[in-house]
Amino acid sequence: MISNCIKFIISPFFISVGCIHSFPALAAPGVPADPLVVWHEDFQNLPTPTPTSNVTDLLVYQGLNPANQAYTADPPWTMSSNMCNGILAAFNQNPDSAIGIAACAGIKSSWNSSQQLSQALGVLRGQDINNTSRNNYAVTAFTVGSPGPDLIIFRTDRNIPLVASKRFIITSIDTAVINCHAGHPLLRFSFIDQNGLEIDISRNVVDACTNGSRVPFSAQGNNLAGSAIAGILNSPAAFKFTGSSVGYIIRNTQGSGDGNDFAFDNAQILDATPQLDKGFDPPLVELGNSSSIVFTITNTSDLLAKEAWSFTDSLSSGLTVSGAPTTTCPAASTSISAPIGADSISVTSSLSNRMASCTITVPVIAAAAGIYLNNQDNISEYEFINPPLPDTTNRLEVTPSADMQAGSSLPTQVSAGQTVTGTIACLNAGPGAAESATCGISGLPTGAMTSCRPTVPTAAPLAASSAISCNVSFVAPAAGSIASTITASSATPDPLLANNAVSYHAAIAPAADMQASASLPNAVVEGQTVTGSIACLNAGPSAAESATCGISGLPAGATTSCTPTVPTATPLTVSSAISCNVSFVAPAAGSIAATITAGSATPDPELENNSIPYAASINKTPVITSVPTLNKWMITMLSLIFGVIILLRFKQK
């Protein structure tokens, strides 16, 4: 007895078709479909039986699948042995057929029992006991006499072509047996390869008495109504067949004629090769992102184990493996060769007993945008598995993408009023070119200027690894801070939006431009009390904390009086000044060299004008003396002399 015998009923569609030379229509991936019928013999290629119909010898019968298919058996199992074997019997045939009775060693009850077993086999397949089951033909194996052990009771005369070589095939046959109190039919099954070699596929003999259930039959002749043990005997396992055609043999290891009374029908060979389907998940990605090829391996409805099938998928040009594969197939029997960067995927695996399907998922990535197909043409090698049929789900669309990334080299610390310069950059990190790429900064103070190369938006696509560089200039305001955003973008889809924008923050340090000036004479007289003023202006842009104004280098005793007093108690506002009156006594000699200095506790952006020099020359005090005078005689004498001179010049003319 085969404890793991799997029983299933083949659908009427598969029973009625002829030899199939192409792959079956696919069910949904993961949903087992019925095995493909390679060959099926229901022995119905005969006229409808009537009470006057005579019997047919199995050796002269010709089936339809394939056309004119003939069958043989070892001599004891043929009609000519007169052991009630090898006869195509039906309930509605003549119960008193002389030929039928003669073929059953002259025992009418044996002939009628064979007719009843044919009816039971029809009932097994759902036929009406009072109608269609009575027209069902089956092959008798009633053994009136001992045929001997391990003989062929049924054999295809020639092989049936397979869809392809390297297939999982299984077999099935219907049996109905009576007299199980005596010898049981003990069956073995074999395939025949294209070289005529018999391949035993039975792990153990199949006992027809223990593999079925009670099925009724009607009274026939002198035989009463009763029941037979009838069942569908299936292969206990799927057989890996490497040939291109297959034949079929049934042997009965029970050699006794005591019991061993049965009939058989619906012999068939089924192709139970699992089906490979595949598709991209997701079928639409942006360039730079991975999709996955999901291979689905679906068992046939027998759900028998299918061990060591394999296939190789050669990826379409431009696709490569981008990650580690995963699988739901049995880990112990699964080998996947799909290293990252590879352009092919090779798989060897199995389906366990009762496993409907399993999947293998392999991440893949495209080198460029476009449409990538992966259908049956990509399966370069396969064994013991059906390749996929064309399907639109095997289409991967990769749309262009460009990862635009924003960056900045602007200073983060600036001073109030400072003219700030720097650059921002917008990089295309790829993988594709960026159409109409842009780069900009928002949130800068009024009057800020930006100049980009190339100009934006770019007229030509910005190539991967290329960047837009922009020079930025602005004047820092008097107080507060700067909060701006640098943004990179393009008309091409971006796979990573998070890096399209970066923030630019700058703290503004206060600045007060303190400027010194003086209103003092640059020439003085020794001993003179000199007065004048100096001034220290805050030219901004910020108020000046603790502003000061002073002069150093004046003669001893000089005094300075400032308004407001210094250092200022409150910040000196922009455009305000400290005014200081200065007084000193010029020394007796030399010169004066002094320095006026403006300052504050606030950083000064222009230190050059914080101090100016003051220089003054020192003159001596003038000495006053008496002027000499002439007496009247000397004045008279000088008058006479000037008169004579004038007279002489006149006469000369």
Mean pLDDT across the chain: 92
Closest CA to 217 of 118, 126, 135: 118
- Note the pLDDT of residue 636: 72
Q: What are phi and psi of 14, to 5 degrees?
A: -70, -30
Phi-psi region of 76 (alpha: psi -120 to 50; beta: other; left: phi over 0): alpha
In angstroms, the CA 143 to CA 252 distance is 11
Give every strand in the sheet of 335-337, ordered side by side. 335-337, 344-351, 306-314, 379-383
User: In sequence order, which residues have a C-beta less than 8 Å from that of residue 4 and are 6 or more positions away?
Assistant: 236, 237, 353
Q: Residues 65-80: what's their mean pLDDT?
A: 95
User: In sequence order, which residues have a C-beta less than 8 Å from that of residue 561 and are 6 or more positions away?
Assistant: 580, 581
User: In sequence order, which residues have a C-beta less than 8 Å from that of residue 616 and are 6 or more positions away?
Assistant: 520, 521, 522, 523, 524, 530, 586, 591, 592
Interval 408-437: pLDDT, tens: 999 999 999 999 999 999 999 998 899 999
- Residue 5 — pLDDT band, cuts 50, 70, 90? very low
Architecture of domain 404-509: Sandwich (2.60)
For every residue of 129-196, which 3-state class applies, written as one string? CCCHHHHCCEEEECCCCCCCCCEEEEEECCCEECCCCCEEEEEEEEEEEECCCCECCEEEEEEECCCC
Give the CATH class of 275-399: mainly beta
Q: Residues 165-193: what's their mean pLDDT?
A: 97
CA pseudo-torsion sign 63, 64, 70, 76: negative
Give yes or no for residue 179 having a pLDDT over 90: yes
Closest CA to 541 of 457, 438, 428, 419: 419
- Note the pLDDT of residue 633: 64
In angstroms, the CA 653 to CA 650 distance is 5
In angstroms, the CA 271 to CA 639 distance is 165
Q: Residues 129-138: what's their mean pLDDT?
A: 98
The percent of residues in the chain predicted with pLDDT above 90, rounded, is 85
Interval 211-269: pLDDT, tens: 999 999 999 999 999 999 999 999 889 999 999 999 999 999 999 999 999 999 999 99
Per domain, the residue ranges of the chain are 36-271, 275-399, 404-509, 514-619
More confident site: 19 or 472: 472
Give every strand in the sheet of 395-399, ordered side by side. 284-286, 395-399, 370-373
Q: Residues 473-487: what's their mean pLDDT?
A: 94
Give yes or no for residue 392 having a pLDDT over 80: no
In angstroms, the CA 128 to CA 134 distance is 8
How far, in Å, are 49, 90, 103, 142, 597 from residue 79 at the CA level? 18, 15, 6, 11, 137
Terminal C-alpha separation, the chain: 181
In angstroms, the CA 241 to CA 233 distance is 20
- Note the pLDDT of residue 6: 31
- Note the pLDDT of residue 156: 98
- Note the pLDDT of residue 16: 30
In angstroms, the CA 159 to CA 444 distance is 87
Are 275-399 and 404-509 in the same CATH fold?
A: yes
The topology under which CATH files domain 36-271 is Jelly Rolls (2.60.120)
Phi-psi region of 646 (alpha: psi -120 to 50; beta: other; left: phi over 0): alpha
Q: Residues 85-101: what's their mean pLDDT?
A: 97
Which of 83-92, 408-417, 513-522, 642-651 is the least confident region? 642-651
Give yes or no for residue 398 having a pLDDT over 90: yes
More confident site: 146 or 652: 146
In angstroms, the CA 122 to CA 138 distance is 9
Interval 576-598: pLDDT, tens: 999 999 999 999 888 999 999 99
| Burial of 511 from C-beta contacts in 10 A (0-12 / 13-18 / 19+) | buried
Residue with tokens 């509605």: 92
Give yes or no for residue 623 having a pLDDT over 60: no
- Residue 3 — pLDDT band, cuts 50, 70, 90? very low
- Note the pLDDT of residue 526: 93
Query: How far from chain centre, in Å, is Cα 332?
Result: 26
In angstroms, the CA 583 to CA 224 distance is 154
Strand-pairing partners, residue 475, are 419
CB 587 within 8 A of CB 620: no
Strand-pairing partners, residue 40, are 268
- Strands (E) located in 212-290: 213-217, 226-234, 239-241, 245-252, 261-271, 275-281, 284-286
In angstroms, the CA 91 to CA 119 distance is 6
Strand-pairing partners, residue 530, are 584
CB 83 within 8 A of CB 261: no
Give yes or no for residue 163 having a pLDDT over 60: yes
Q: Residues 534-543: what's their mean pLDDT?
A: 95
| Burial of 389 from C-beta contacts in 10 A (0-12 / 13-18 / 19+) | middle
Write the single-letter amino acid at 634: M
CB 449 within 8 A of CB 422: no
- Note the pLDDT of residue 622: 67
- Note the pLDDT of residue 65: 82
Interval 287-339: pLDDT, tens: 989 999 999 999 999 999 999 999 999 999 999 999 999 999 999 999 999 99
- Note the pLDDT of residue 318: 96
Give the CATH class of 514-619: mainly beta
In angstroms, the CA 40 to CA 12 distance is 11
* Helix-strand-coil split of the chain, %, nearest 5: 10, 45, 45
Q: Are strands 284-286 and 395-399 parallel, antiparallel or unpaired?
A: parallel
Interval 292-301: pLDDT, tens: 999 999 999 9
In angstroms, the CA 211 to CA 526 distance is 144
Q: What are phi and psi of 121, to 5 degrees?
A: -65, -30
Q: Residues 536-549: what's their mean pLDDT?
A: 96
- Note the pLDDT of residue 638: 75
Interval 430-470: pLDDT, tens: 988 999 999 999 999 999 999 999 999 999 999 999 999 99
- Note the pLDDT of residue 9: 31
Q: Residues 617-636: what's their mean pLDDT?
A: 69
Q: Which helix (H) or strand (E) holds 109?
A: helix 108-124
pTM, entire model: 0.70
Give yes or no for residue 627 having a pLDDT over 60: no
User: In sequence order, which residues have a C-beta less than 8 Å from that of residue 251 and are 6 or more positions away?
Assistant: 150, 151, 152, 153, 187, 188, 189, 190
Phi-psi region of 327 (alpha: psi -120 to 50; beta: other; left: phi over 0): beta
CB 72 within 8 A of CB 57: no
How far, in Å, are 167, 239, 353, 358, 385 from residue 307 at the CA level? 11, 10, 10, 13, 10
